[in-house]
Structure formats: structure tokens, C-alpha cells
């Protein structure tokens, strides 16, 4: 018997949903998964009627209602603390860069939307997106250098990796110029069983869910 439900957008496009979904699965919550196809450019009526903020992901679990990806990560970490590093300073580092992801990189997100089924190498390299990419690369290089990889805080895939997993997906799709360090991290994230499962389930979504604006970007 499920203890709640997780409302997400379809897996091919919904980058924020991927974050919440990863956190929920990393924490092992037993929740029903409700997938609502995105319409692009704002929440659909179905999403608006199903979630308090009109956005996905949205989690209901044992009487708690949680929205916003970072809040979902924090909630999941209350149940499974190893989603954040055990060491205080390392945990502070992880939280800082997770929060930076949550609050920022808008230009990257706007220019290079997530589409797990397509590849658009070399496109949409706007100056603003390139500046965001440079910052993401710096964040990853610092974390990987400090904690030894293969994930940002070391050996375990945690909440901070969940926060950056959709960035990995964007980089795989849009293929900007990236350092080898970044590419190694991307390979580690892509190969993680949960990320691989999300990709597989995205590939199995009905064709009717495809959106022209994401499939044929200008």
C-alpha cells in the first residue's frame, strides 16, 4: 500500500520532476507515481489542479505535502539522511551548490531545455547559456576535485547529484564544449541505475506526448 503519491511531468521533458523523482527513489519512499504530460510554457490545467503551486514535482507522503524540488530533497533526506554528506562542511558545500542550481542557471535552462530523446549538438550556444555552463563546470570540477568523484560529493549519488542530473541530460542533448572531467561526471550520472531507468521510461512514453517546441527547437 503506497504511503502517498508523487506527481511529475512526463519524463522526456520534465527536468524538475527528475530531481524530485530521484530524491524520492534514493530515499526509498513508497509512493504512487502520477505522470501528467507537459504542454510546454507553463503548467497544464491537469497539473494546476493536482498541485498547490501548479508545478511539478509535488509529493504527498504520510500527511506531508511538499513542493519545490529542493524541499522534496530535504524531506527525503529527513527520512534517509545519507542523501546529504555526513560531514558538516561537506554537507554545507553540497547544500550550497544544490541551492545555486535551484535558484539559478535560468539562461541555460531556457536555451537548452531537457529532451531525453533528441540530440542537438552545437545549437543554442547563447552567451548567457555559455556563462551558466562555465559556472556549472567550475562547480562540478571543484566538487569532484575536492571529494574524489565519481559523484559530486564522492562515491555516493546523493541529493546534490539529483539536483544536477537534468543539467547532465541537457549537456548530453545539446553537447556544448565541455571538459573531460565534466564528461566523466556526466557518464557516471547517466549510468546510475535510477537515471538509466528514468531514460528508459522516458523512451517508452506515448508519441502523443511529444511537443513540437521541444522536438524542433528554432
Distances (CA, A) of 20 to 55, 73, 183, 195, 218: 12, 7, 23, 12, 29
- Hey, is 156 helix, strand or coil? coil
CB-nearer residue toward other proteins: 83 or 136: 136
Residue from 135, 209, 210, 211 touching other proteins (CB under 8 A): that is 135
State the minimum distance, in angstroms, from the CB of residue 144 to other proteins.
Answer: 7
CB-nearer residue toward other proteins: 186 or 202: 186
Asked whether position 39 contacts other proteins by CB under 8 A, the answer is no
State the minimum distance, in angstroms, from the CB of residue 93 to other proteins.
Answer: 12
Residue from 28, 122, 193, 206 touching other proteins (CB under 8 A): that is 122
State the minimum distance, in angstroms, from the CB of residue 6 to other proteins.
Answer: 35
Asked whether position 126 contacts other proteins by CB under 8 A, the answer is yes
Burial-class residue 193 by CB neighbours within 10 Å (0-12, 13-18, 19+).
Answer: exposed
Please say whether the beta carbons of 29 and 4 come within 8 A: yes
Residues 178-207 that bind other proteins (CB under 8 A): 178-182
Which are the contacts of 62, defined by CB distance < 8 A and separation ≥ 6?
3, 4
Residues 160-179 that bind other proteins (CB under 8 A): 176-179
Provide the sign of the torsion angle of the four alpha carbons 50, 33, 154, 75, taken in this order.
Answer: positive
Q: Which region among 80-88, 118-126, 165-173, 187-195 touches other proteins (by CB under 8 A)?
A: 118-126
Task: At 85, give phi and psi (nearest 5°).
Answer: -60, 150
Which are the contacts of 177, defined by CB distance < 8 A and separation ≥ 6?
none
State the minimum distance, in angstroms, from the CB of residue 173 to other proteins.
Answer: 16
Site string for other proteins, 17-36 (x = CB under 8 A): --------------------
Q: What is 30-98 written as a DSSP string?
A: --EEEEE---SSS--HHHHHHSTTS-S-EEEETTEEEESHHHHHHHHHHHSGGGS-SSHHHHHHHHHHH
Which residues are bridge partners to 4 per DSSP?
61
Residue from 32, 142, 156, 215 touching other proteins (CB under 8 A): that is 142
How many of the chain's residues bind other proteins (CB under 8 A)? 23
CB-nearer residue toward other proteins: 71 or 178: 178
Place of cell 497544464: 44
Asked whether position 141 contacts other proteins by CB under 8 A, the answer is yes
Report the interface residues with other proteins, using CB under 8 A: 122, 125-128, 130-131, 134-135, 137-138, 141-142, 144-146, 176-182
Amino acid at each position: 500500500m503506497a504511503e502517498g503519491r508523487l506527481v511529475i511531468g512526463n519524463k522526456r521533458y520534465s527536468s524538475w520532476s527528475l530531481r524530485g523523482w530521484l530524491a524520492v527513489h534514493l530515499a526509498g519512499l513508497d509512493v504512487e507515481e502520477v505522470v501528467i504530460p507537459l504542454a510546454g510554457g507553463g503548467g497544464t490545467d491537469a497539473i494546476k489542479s493536482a498541485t498547490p503551486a501548479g508545478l511539478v514535482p509535488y509529493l504527498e507522503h504520510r500527511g506531508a505535502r511538499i513542493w519545490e524540488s529542493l524541499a522534496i530533497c530535504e524531506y527525503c533526506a529527513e527520512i534517509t539522511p545519507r542523501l546529504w554528506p555526513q560531514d558538516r562542511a561537506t554537507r554545507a558545500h553540497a547544500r550550497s551548490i544544490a541551492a545555486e542550481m535551484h535558484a539559478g542557471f535560468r539562461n541555460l535552462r531556457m536555451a537548452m531545455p531537457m529532451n531525453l530523446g533528441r540530440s542537438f549538438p552545437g545549437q543554442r550556444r547563447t552567451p548567457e547559456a555559455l556563462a551558466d555552463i562555465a559556472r556549472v563546470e567550475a562547480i562540478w570540477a571543484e566538487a569532484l576535485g575536492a571529494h574524489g568523484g565519481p559523484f559530486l560529493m564522492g562515491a555516493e549519488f546523493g541529493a546534490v547529484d539529483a539536483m544536477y542530473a537534468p543539467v547532465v541530460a541537457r549537456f548530453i542533448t545539446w553537447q556544448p564544449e565541455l571538459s573531460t572531467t565534466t564528461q566523466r561526471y556526466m557518464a557516471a550520472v547517466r549510468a546510475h541505475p535510477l537515471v538509466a531507468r528514468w531514460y528508459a521510461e522516458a523512451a517508452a512514453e506515448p508519441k502523443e506526448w511529444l511537443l513540437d517546441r521541444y522536438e524542433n527547437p528554432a
